Structure 1
Amino acid sequence: MRRAADTQFLVNEALALLSRLQTVRSFALSTPMVLAAAVSAPAQAAINSHLAHIAFGLRRKLKAFISWLRSPESQATDAEKAQARYVLLKLRFNSLLDQFDIFADVLSQRGEHGTGTWLAGLDVLAEDALHLPGGYYEPPPLICFLERGHGAAIRRARTRLPGGDDNPVGVIQIPRERMVGSGIASSLIHEVGHQGSELLDLTTTIRAEIDKKVAAGGPAKVAWQLLSRWLNEILSDFWALGHLGIGATYGLMSVVSLPSYFVFRIGTDGPHPFPWIRVRLSIALGEALFPHRQWADLTRQWSALYPTDGLPSGKQQLIGQLVALLPEFAQLVVRHRSPSLRGQPLAGLFPVAQRQPARLRALYRQWQARPALREDCAPSLVFAVIGQAKADGRITAGEEARVLTGLLTRWALNRARNYCGLAPPAGAPPPAGASSPHPLISRSHEPQFSN
């Protein structure tokens, strides 16, 4: 028999928890931001619906628990078991708060002047990079936020949040130090690649091909094993290359430009290739997608920045084995086919023809004469063109920042107009992708060229 004092204690604790639960309010009621800085309507709806579902469910359970405590039938349960039931409800409340804080950290930045709108523009870029024509999957909403540190990261949609619930949106963390320039796209689309690769199960199917190489043995076995271990990160770099061309590799070089000790620090138990070989992998994959002498020039540049001559012989031998495999490995990835790809080679999913260097350069020349043309293009194409121009030395850092800042703002504003049904100002061009099934992104806005 449980004492009355024990019952009253638990009732009070449960009522207090219920009161605290009432303070968890929808972000639509608590997060100030200009309309253009808001996350997309699907993302906002998904987040609010997700948190409301948990909150209302917990509220029902708390009320049922309080009613049970006050009922005669509960008196046969001892205090220890009643306390255990309460603690589970408290833990569920704490997991709700953990999830709430994850999204609050993201949404609170949308109130920062300038930054919030840029982030909304990056949301549009991320959605563009995840959207694949052909309906290979249903892309989840994506939202971006800035964080301290050197690298980007993603909390993928449909993975576990604290408490075990599925994440309703992909949350992409961008290093603040990379705002604003073409290099930001490399980091961002790399993280999008983690989401896309998972939706297509690419790591599993491509790793199965590599495992056959490992099983064959021979002197290259260790190198193939390392490529298999690093595959998830390599495929995300490949995703960025497919959308950005050489701009993805230059962005990667910026991220991994570290003291030589770290660039050549070979870890065999982590998911990331060591920086030196990671850049060479990006170059090899880029050359397979976009054949051009610029990749050989970039190889020479990287080798000059980080020569391998003075490395210990063991490291030089392993690097030599990996470099020897790069052409074969690149073709394995580019030509990979699997059921999720419906028989298409992996490279066929990306706008490879529109990202060839000659076409990117031609577009840049057109945009120099008529800058308004770039406003109707897919965001990833814009970053690819600017990245190629940067690699060619045809655009200054200041001009790059000015152009991209203006376009990020325009993409954010266009999205706000689309979702809110607002008419554009008189004389303004139509929002990119407004007439397409996807309300913001359309490959039809990528210029077509004849050979």
Structure 2
Amino acid sequence: MRSADATRFLVNETLALVSRLRTVRSFSLSTPMVLAAAVSAPAQAAINAHLAHVAFDLRRKLRAFVAWLRSPDSAGLSAAQTQARYVLLKLRFNNLLDQVDIFADVLSQRSEHGIGTWVAGLDVLAEDALALPGGYYTPPPLVCFLERGHGAAIRRARTRLPGGDQNPVGVIQIPRERMIGSGIASSLIHEVGHQGSELLGLTTSLKQVLEQRMAAGPKAEALPWQLLSRWLNEILSDCWALGHLGITATYGLLSVVSLPSYFVFRIGTDGPHPFPWIRVKISLALGAALFPHPQWAALGRQWEALYPTTELSADKRDLIRRLEAVLPAFAGLVLGHRPAALRGRRVADVFPANERQPDQLRALYDAWQQQAGQREQSAPSLVFAVVGQAKADGRISTDEEVRVLSHMLSHWALNRARNYCAAPALPPPAAPRSTLTLKPRTHAPRIKH
């Protein structure tokens, strides 16, 4: 039998959770920002509806638990058994606070002068890179935030949040130190690629093709293909960035992985990322296949000069040689893959590769020098591709690059805010059907760039 003191303690603790739950308010009421810095209307509606749903469900369960404690139905349970039920509710409360913190990281930053508007512009860039023509999927809302760190990361939409709930939006973390330059687009669209590849099921379908290739090929090539298959998820995200940005994506990647030589040549065969030296080479092979031009070979020679392989052990040199030997065939296989989700089209066909060819980008840069207004009418990823190509060609200074991109990020954010003000109000999305379970905290891993 449970004592009256134990019942009173648990009732008070549960009601305290109910009181603290009242402090979880809609971000629309608590987060100040200028209109241009706000996340998109669909993202804000999805976040607020999700948290309201979780809070309402938890409040109902807490009050039902208090009513049960006070009823004769609970009298036969011991204090320990009753405490165990309370602890599950408390864990659920902590899960909700973890979810609030995830979205608060995104939204509270929007109040920073200047930074908030730039981050809203990055939202527009991310949405542009995810919106493939052809209606292959319904893209979820995406929101960005800055954080000090070496790499970018994404918490994909429709994956599990703490507590097991489905994430209503994709949350992309961008390294603060990369603001602002054309390289920021490489990191951002790489993370968008994780979301897009998952929506299309590319990793799963391509792994099957690679397994068939390994089974049919010579045994000497088995290890390189096995490694490429193991690294496929990250490679596809790099390919997504390449398909939208051209050589800008590879220069951005080169900036990320320019580390001491020990790390550049640290060959781990059990992780999801290619080791940095070969990762750049994979990017170059995919880029040369998508956008044939001598610039890829020139950048490859530059990379080899920065990190020569001559001092490596014979085993490492041999593995690198074997990997490089299969890269042209691998690039052709990836870009020529026709998954069911694309309804007969190749992976290469869904990217705007025709308008991102180097000569096309150079011609656009020249045209924009004469009529800058044309730049403001162009897709955000195209703007970054043009500016990045100009930087690669030595035609634009770092100061000019920062000035142009700062202006464009603010322009996209302001333009989106104007469009939402002019559009009729949309009803909030229906709250998802409750699938909540009381369980210990579980976190969906964020994918790191």
TM-score bin (small chain):
over 0.9
SS of residue matched to 1:14:
helix
Contact 1:213-1:221 at 8 Å conserved across structures: no
1:191-226 deviation per Cα after TM superposition (whole angstroms, max 9, x unaligned): 000000000010011111111232245111111110
1:428-447 deviation per Cα after TM superposition (whole angstroms, max 9, x unaligned): xxxxxxxxxxxxxxxxxxxx
Deviation at 1:73, TM superposition (A): 2.6
TM-score normalised by L of structure 1: 0.92
Contact 1:190-1:237 at 8 Å conserved across structures: yes
Deviation at 1:2, TM superposition (A): 2.2
Which position in structure 1 is the counterpart of 2:299?
Answer: 298
Which position in structure 2 is the counterpart of 1:320?
Answer: 321
Which position in structure 2 is the counterpart of 1:308?
Answer: 309
1:30-71 deviation per Cα after TM superposition (whole angstroms, max 9, x unaligned): 111111001111111111111110000000111111111112
Letter in 2 for 1:72: P
1:204-256 deviation per Cα after TM superposition (whole angstroms, max 9, x unaligned): 11111111232245111111110001000000000000000011001111111
Give distance in 2, aligned partners of 1:68 and 1:229. 51
Deviation at 1:346, TM superposition (A): 0.5
Letter in 2 for 1:418: N
Deviation at 1:269, TM superposition (A): 0.7
Which position in structure 2 is the counterpart of 1:31?
Answer: 31
Deviation at 1:422, TM superposition (A): 7.7
Give distance in 1, aligned partners of 2:128 and 2:278. 28
1:61 is the counterpart of 2:61: yes
Contact 1:92-1:163 at 8 Å conserved across structures: yes
Letter in 2 for 1:409: S
Which position in structure 1 is the counterpart of 2:105?
Answer: 105
1:57-91 deviation per Cα after TM superposition (whole angstroms, max 9, x unaligned): 00011111111111223222222222111111111
Which position in structure 1 is the counterpart of 2:447?
Answer: none
The 5 A counterparts of 1:93-172 are 93-172=93-172
Q: Decide which moves more: 166-175 or 62-71.
A: 62-71
Give distance in 1, aligned partners of 2:410 and 2:235. 31
SS of residue matched to 1:19:
helix
Structure 2 unpaired stretches of 5+: 425-449
Give distance in 2, aligned partners of 1:331 and 1:253. 22
Over aligned residue pairs, what C-alpha RMSD do you find? 1.1
SS of residue matched to 2:145:
strand
Which position in structure 2 is the counterpart of 1:195?
Answer: 195
Q: Decide which moves more: 360-369 or 205-214.
A: 205-214
1:286 is the counterpart of 2:290: no
Which position in structure 1 is the counterpart of 2:440?
Answer: none
Letter in 2 for 1:403: V
Using CA pairs under 8 Å that are at least 6 residues apart, name the structure with larger relative contact order, 1 or 2. Answer: 2
The 5 A counterparts of 1:222-371 are 222-371=223-372
SS of residue matched to 2:174:
strand
Deviation at 1:149, TM superposition (A): 1.1
Which position in structure 2 is the counterpart of 1:14?
Answer: 14
SS of residue matched to 1:143:
strand
Deviation at 1:392, TM superposition (A): 0.6
Give distance in 1, aligned partners of 2:232 and 2:404. 34
Give distance in 1, aligned partners of 2:286 and 2:166. 33
Structure 1 unpaired stretches of 5+: 424-451
Q: What is the count of residue pairs matched by the alignment?
A: 423
Give distance in 1, aligned partners of 2:100 and 2:344. 41
SS of residue matched to 2:172:
strand
Give distance in 2, aligned partners of 1:66 and 1:387. 60
Letter in 1 for 2:236: L
TM-score normalised by L of structure 2: 0.93
The 5 A counterparts of 1:384-395 are 384-395=385-396
Letter in 1 for 2:131: H
Q: Decide which moves more: 72-81 or 23-32.
A: 72-81
Give distance in 2, aligned partners of 1:198 and 1:112. 32
SS of residue matched to 2:219:
coil
Which position in structure 1 is the counterpart of 2:72?
Answer: 72
Deviation at 1:421, TM superposition (A): 1.4
Give distance in 2, aligned partners of 1:173 and 1:213. 36
Which position in structure 1 is the counterpart of 2:438?
Answer: none
The 5 A counterparts of 1:393-404 are 393-404=394-405
Letter in 1 for 2:190: H
Give distance in 1, aligned partners of 2:35 and 2:129. 23
Give distance in 1, aligned partners of 2:317 and 2:65. 66
Give distance in 2, aligned partners of 1:193 and 1:73. 53
Letter in 2 for 1:24: V
SS of residue matched to 2:75:
helix
Which position in structure 2 is the counterpart of 1:427?
Answer: none
